[in-house]
Chain A
Amino acid sequence: MGNENKPMKLAYYPGCTLKNQATNFDVSTVSSMAKLDVEVEELDRWNCCGTVHALDSDNVMNRVAPITNMIRVKEAQAKTEGMASEFMTSCAMCYNTLKRANIDVKQRADALETINNLLYLEKTKYEGDVEVLHLLEYLRDRVGFDNLAKKVTKPLKGLRVASYYGCLLVRPKEVAFDDVENPMVMENLIRALGATPVEFSHKTECCGAYQTVDKPEVIADRTDKIMGAASEEQADMVVVSCPLCAFNLDYRQDDAKRLNPDFQNMPVLYFTQLMALAFGCDESALRFDLQHIDPLPALKARGLA
């Protein structure tokens, strides 16, 4: 952490789902960062990143929305003392899309020029000079899990947690900040919070993503397999970093149960909610009421609620 006692300022990109269904992810992110003495400042006028990264070569149009956000970061930095030319997001999808667009324009001067030309009404030009950070990466590399552990007032003793990374934190390799096949950053966070990370064979197995919109039966199958693997390890819950993973693994458990009557319901939390809990934040920072599967019975069973 910084040498001065002043809290650090970190630009924050919440993304649209954290401002809608996933309010619990937003408030737990901001509250737990405050406990770590990091002052999170939401960007002014951020816009949706566009969700999925377009894979066709030469696609400049779909990079415009993500790159506009880089300009917002530069504007925030220009008027805020102690803010670096970087920003943090806790949504894995936003992270992936913003980071890939950023890598892309840094490598392709012609694409960057086209985008700046399209954004001619902006006063600030983007020059590839902003860094995109995921919150997990920030916690590991800037805060440090040893420092983080010192802020724990309510160690999550005995709680068995399976870490689900899905796709977007580990693929493609250029955006991954951990091992592509066997990432451990969330397990290390869970350990720092006093809980017990469990082995999880399905931690980077995709949940089916947006197919949930019109093919819930496909997601039911994915959720059955992924959550079933966590059940086999006697996990009390699964933690995630993406509101789409959360929706599929939590809300679609009803569909999984219809598909497989032996399916065991299990709560799904954001990793930030687990942090806020261990830091002693109150219910307004946790918003467990937004969870489809209530985590309170599992927490009570471990004497944590």
Chain B
Amino acid sequence: MDTTLRITSARAGSSFVANIEKVSGQKLLACYQCGKCSAGCPMAAHMDVLPNQMIRMAQLGMQEQLLATRSIWMCVSCLTCNSRCPKGIKIAEVIEALRKAALNTGQRNDHLHVMELSAEARAVLPPIAMIGAMRKLTS
């Protein structure tokens, strides 16, 4: 993915950044990029952009790139990052705000297509899995 970016104060001060900060209740600029969140993330191996990079991109207002990542859908809110961040940032909350932003766009494309699941999958999956997935991956 192309992550080259022309940094401008207009972008970092955009309404997107303000919205993510408000919905997540976090101060994005508190992050000093130590990488601890990514080091312990159980989903990192399946992400295209790591949690610390997501925070960086959010600071810089990289809206289109962020909302197109696989990572926002891979994070399962396990809160390992939150409990270890030396700056007390709730990374999982930021990622939740990003998922919400993506689900709220006009071109909404849910990341779970229940009708495409196999009959076997639908028969064996417990409610705890189905409800969790629908809450997080659809709107």
Interface set of A (CB-CB < 8 Å, partner B): 15-17, 20-22, 48, 50-58, 62, 91, 93, 167, 171-173, 180-181, 204-206, 208-215, 218, 221-222, 242-244, 247, 251
Contacts and interface: CB of A to CB of B under 8 A. Distances in A.
B132 A54 contact: no
Contacts of B1: none
B45 interface: yes
A51 B136 CA distance: 10
A91 B128 CA distance: 10
B76 A208 contact: yes
A147 B77 CA distance: 37
Contacts of A172: 79, 82-83
Nearest to B22: A57
A173 B88 CA distance: 12
A146 to B, nearest CB: 31
Given A210-B133, A244-B129, A56 B93 contact: yes
23 contacts: A22-B126, A51-B127, A51-B131, A54-B96, A55-B24, A55-B93, A56-B97, A56-B100, A62-B135, A91-B128, A171-B78, A206-B42, A209-B76, A210-B133, A212-B129, A213-B117, A213-B130, A214-B133, A215-B46, A243-B126, A244-B126, A247-B125, A247-B126
A218 B92 CA distance: 19
Contact of A51 (B125, B135, B137): B135
Interface in B82-136: 82-83, 90, 92-93, 96-97, 100, 112-113, 116-117, 121, 124-133, 135-136
Given A20-B126, A243-B128, A208 B23 contact: no
A210 B76 contact: yes
B43 interface: yes
Contact of B124 (A17, A53, A171, A251): A251
B63 interface: no
A247 B136 contact: no
Helix, strand, loop or mixed for chain B's interface?
helix
A50 B45 CA distance: 28
Contacts of B25: 57
B107 to A, nearest CB: 20
Nearest to B112: A214
B74 interface: yes
A15 B112 CA distance: 23
Helix, strand, loop or mixed for chain A's interface?
loop
A20 B127 contact: yes
Query: What are the 3 tightest A-B residue pairs by CB atom distance, in nearest-first order?
Result: A210-B132, A206-B78, A57-B25
A259 B99 CA distance: 29
Contact of B96 (A56, A181, A209): A56
A66 to B, nearest CB: 13
Nearest to A49: B131
Given A16-B131, A55-B93, A55-B96, 8 more contacts: A55-B77, A55-B97, A57-B23, A167-B80, A208-B76, A213-B129, A218-B74, A244-B132
A52 B127 contact: no
A135 B6 CA distance: 54
Contact of B132 (A51, A56, A62, A221): A51
Nearest to A15: B128
A48 B126 contact: no
A23 to B, nearest CB: 11
A184 B23 CA distance: 35
Given A213-B121, A213-B129, A243-B128, A52 B77 contact: yes
A171 B79 CA distance: 6
B102 to A, nearest CB: 13
A54 B25 CA distance: 13
A242 B124 CA distance: 16
Contact of A171 (B24, B83, B125, B131): B83
A244 B102 CA distance: 26
Given A55-B92, A206-B42, A17 B78 contact: no
